Structure 1
Amino acid sequence: VSFLSRIIGNKKRGALPTHGQDASDPGDGRPEGMDAHLFSHSTDNVGFSPQYPQPPQYIKVRSKFKREKEIDHLFLSQQLRGGHQKATTFPLVSRTATEIASHTQAREDPVWALEFSKDGKYLAAAGHDKTVRVWAVISSPEERRDFEDAGSPQGGQGASPSPLRAPVFHPTPFRLYEGHESTVIDLSWSKNNFLLSSSFDKTVRLWHISRNECLCTFKHAEYVPSIQFHPRDDRFFLAGSLDLKLRLWSIPDKSVAFWAQLPEMITAVAFTPDGKSCIAGTLGGQLHFYETDNLKYSTHIHVRSNRGKKSRGSKITNIQAMNFPPDKPYGNLKILVSSNDSRVRLYNMRDKSLQAKFKGHVNNETQIRATFSDDGRYVVSGSEDKKTHIWSIDPGDAEKGEQPLEVFESNSSMTIASLLAPTKTRQALSASEDPIYDLCNPPPVTLVSRTESIHSSRPPTESENGQEIPSGETTTNRTAGSPAYVARNVHPGGHIIVTAEYSGSIRVYRQDCAYMK
């Protein structure tokens, strides 16, 4: 006993060794987003034994005018490359964002457009390097196993154990679309996974997720800063150009169905959710409203401050229309407008009145776009000060009459784009045996007989006689989840935030909804 006490030390009985502080405590030394480590730790830690170090600390999230934080317990899950350089994926040695940035400063490829597909299964990004990249969400256990096998370190005895990882996307792009001759500045998905890309080469190109080649090219007289698919009919899309013309293109006819002349250069366009109306924003801060049929003019408003330097109006960088509540097709229609006066404004479509103004971010020169979350609870935007800003739309959470805000430093250079992943992305990820989501919402367990247990314990590609089963055929069936389990798979506390920065890096942040466990 005395010999062991010299080695172990004189500790009180029952005391646990401490290796760092609990990152969930308030006031702790959490790193900023740009200094966050990629989330990974040894598989020995899965048992949550206190003598092993815990995962990296969560990222510091600051809140203003908010009683309680909602976007907390964030960690850096994955880093992708939107430019020419290769993606940083697990299980490489964890490096801080500052170190990663030092390797990428030699060549900057800004990502100007970032967009999730309507089904939540794909993320498209494009920018300065003229290439459109599409990443697929890891959505099945087989895909996750393939990812783990591809990233597992090689080596025999003495090799370090493979780390536990929580990626969202396959590190290798699912599609690489090439053909544009200049910077790509906007993207738009249709409900059937067609993808439009507009570029400084004065063209709009059409792609589909099932094909590698361009399906069609639509030429314009000037740059096309903004495009959007018709929300109900894939055959049409809206394009706003610097030649002052708003065009409604017919894809089957490869021609302009209707067009309208505006008094200023068009910098942003959008449809209303029913597709019956469309909106165009201009360089001088005007919003013009049209009926989609024949592009018949309706009215216009001026987006500007009441006083100060910005009272003349600033360039509109993005427009988004959404029904509230989002699941009601005939709800209260609201318009979200981003502009180059570092303001995001919320308008009521019915009477064009200003309902709310979101501020705190910096957007004076770049094409930063604020967007709604798909559930209508948040507005998220990048910023020229390297941060991501997330405002709560619910007025009941506001203090002092200001819009509740949560902000974190997400990049080492300007954060050009920030998106909250849609609910369908979280649902797809939860079906892949994701380590965070499975701990948050454990999958159903069914008791089976001894024979069935032995049978199901074999690898999914091996039959009873030891022969391999062709790919696509398995000998086990997954247990169907209860309605309550399926409902919990939306993981409302497990948000995924994707950001793109000026250097070309795309970072995936995740909210740890299983931190209590």
Structure 2
Amino acid sequence: MEPTKTTFHGEAESDYKGRSWMAPPSGMSSVLSLSPTIQEKMDDHKCFVPKKCVHRYTGHNKGVQRIRLFPKTGHLLLSAGLDGKCKVWSVGGVGQRKVMRTYEGHKAAVRDVQFNHDGTRFVSASFDRFLRLWDTESGKVLQTFGNKKVPYCVEFYPKDDNYFVVGCSDNKIVTYDATTGEITQEYNHHLAPINAILFVDDDNGATKMVSSSDDKKILVWEWDIGVPIKYISDPTMHSMPSLAMHPSQQFFVGQSLDNNLVCFQVGQKFKLSKKKKFSGHQVAGYACEPAFSPDGRFLMSGDGKGRIFFWDWKMQKTLQKYKAHDSGPAIACVWHPLEPSVAFTCGWDGVIKMWQ
């Protein structure tokens, strides 16, 4: 096991008022605690396609595989590097955009990272076959998990942060109890490694889990029941290395290796919408992770040539494309939850870019 260490890069871990370096900027926390009507208005805030790159975050020694914004506020950005490190960056105004903390504890590339629902912790999944649960603020490792398999993707169970699921190289999904480190459930019906997992609430408020695998199937599961309730497989379907949920929770898209983003309906049916697809980008061979704007009007994705694309969700037409990353793919992207035209991309050139 690799010894873990963490480095804080900011001026001080708390300010003169004793507030943590992780605290959102003062105006932001008040926005979030306001009555739901304002929150609902913000949910309806119109997004716009970003126009240019406004900042480059550099500091990883190799490519950056995944990026995640801090839940609800998006004032911090978590990155997973192929150099085995995770980093948290500040997203603030000009002059404040810098690395805040580095988390070192893997001896191989980090494949996926995920915050819990309030951002106080995150899980990193690495090719060294271990998962680590970190305290975001202090950088301490709270727990280490592993079942001798490579973890490909990780997601927290939305209703209880003490559980998270991991899609593994041995075709299984396992649920870990974060407090005990025990595996509490196995989902074993895929025939190839698991690429992506999504959670969705159905019409009755019950949580379902959707998984995709190299076996070219999408399976739908009830939480904590190890038998799928639905197989989506279609002769036209290709392998889908990543999935993204539409903010309406009515649809999700899969990044299909035939260079299309394909769409699935959620709900009673769970089926492929054959008419709806997004194309123009070239992703064959890469697990490029797409993202939606918070208002659901736009879909964005990187591609294997380092470009990023923006599509209109309703019309399915390409609105914009930019050259974003050199030497290799633009592997992942995220859209800011509150700023209507701010998005981030990362690539195997080791750079994270902020677009506005």
Q: Fold match, TM over 0.5?
A: yes
Aligned pair 1:342/2:274, yes or no? no
Candidates 239, 244, 253, aligned match of 2:171? 244
TM-score, normalised via structure 2 length: 0.79
- Asked whether the equivalents of residues 112 and 367 of structure 1 are also in contact (C-alpha less than 8 Å), the reply is no
Task: Give the letter for the 2:345 counterpart.
Answer: T
Equivalent in the alignment of 1:26: none
Runs of 4+, deviation exceeding 4 Å: none
* Structure 1 segment 306-345 matched on structure 2, within 5 A: 313-324=237-248, 333-345=250-262
The 1:111–1:237 alpha-carbon spacing in structure 2 relative to 1, beyond 3 Å, is same
Within-5 A mapping of 1:448-487 = none
Change (3 A) 1:82 1:114: farther
Deviations 1:129-154 (A, max 9, x none): 0000111222xxxxx6xxxxxxxxxx
Q: How does 1:29-428 map to 2 (within 5 A)?
A: 70-71=48-49, 74-84=51-61, 109-119=62-72, 120-138=74-92, 166=94, 169-171=96-98, 173-193=99-119, 194-262=121-189, 263-273=191-201, 276-302=207-233, 305=236, 313-324=237-248, 333-350=250-267, 351-355=269-273, 356-393=276-313, 395=314, 398=315, 402-413=316-327, 414-423=329-338, 426=339
Asked if 2 retains the 8 angstrom alpha-carbon contact of 1:241 and 1:265, the reply is: yes
Please identify which structure carries the higher strand content: 2
Deviation of 1:201 after TM superposition, in Å, equals: 0.7
Distance 2:139 2:247 in 1: 35
Query: Does the aligned pair in 2 maintain the 1:388–1:407 contact within 8 Å?
Result: yes
- What is the aligned residue count? 300
Q: TM-score, normalised by structure 1?
A: 0.55
Q: Conserved in 1, the CA contact under 8 Å of 2:125 and 2:132? A: yes
1:255-307 C-alpha deviation (Å, 9 max, x unpaired): 111112122221111211567111111112210111003334201112663xx
Assess, with a 3 A threshold, how the Cα gap between structure 1 residues 415 and 317 changes in structure 2: closer, same or farther. same
The one-letter amino acid paired with 2:239 is: K
Change (3 A) 1:255 1:217: same
Q: Which ranges in structure 2 are unaligned for 5 or more consecutive residues?
A: 1-46
Runs of 5+ consecutive residues of structure 1 not aligned to the other structure = 1-68, 85-108, 139-143, 145-165, 306-312, 325-331, 427-491, 511-517
Asked whether the equivalents of residues 325 and 349 of structure 2 are also in contact (C-alpha less than 8 Å), the reply is: no
Identity %: 22
Q: In structure 2, the residue corresponding to 1:225 is in which secondary structure?
A: strand
When residues 418 and 321 of structure 1 are mapped into structure 2, their CA distance, relative to the original with a 3 A threshold, is closer
Aligned partner of 1:308 in structure 2 is none
Give the counterpart letter for 1:339 in structure 2.
S
Letter in 1 for 2:324: S
SS of 1:272's equivalent in the other structure is strand
Kindly name which structure, 1 or 2, has the bigger radius of gyration based on alpha carbons: 1
Instruction: Give the letter aligned to residue 250 of structure 2.
Output: L
Residues 79, 286 of structure 1: alpha-carbon distance in 2 compared, 3 angstrom cutoff:
same
**Higher helix proportion:** 1
Change (3 A) 1:275 1:111: farther
Please give the alpha-carbon distance, in whole angstroms, between the structure 1 residues aligned to 2:325 and 2:178.
Answer: 38
Aligned equivalents of 1:268, 1:256: Cα separation in 2: 19
Q: Is the 8 A contact 1:336 1:371 kept in 2?
A: no
1:22 is matched with: none
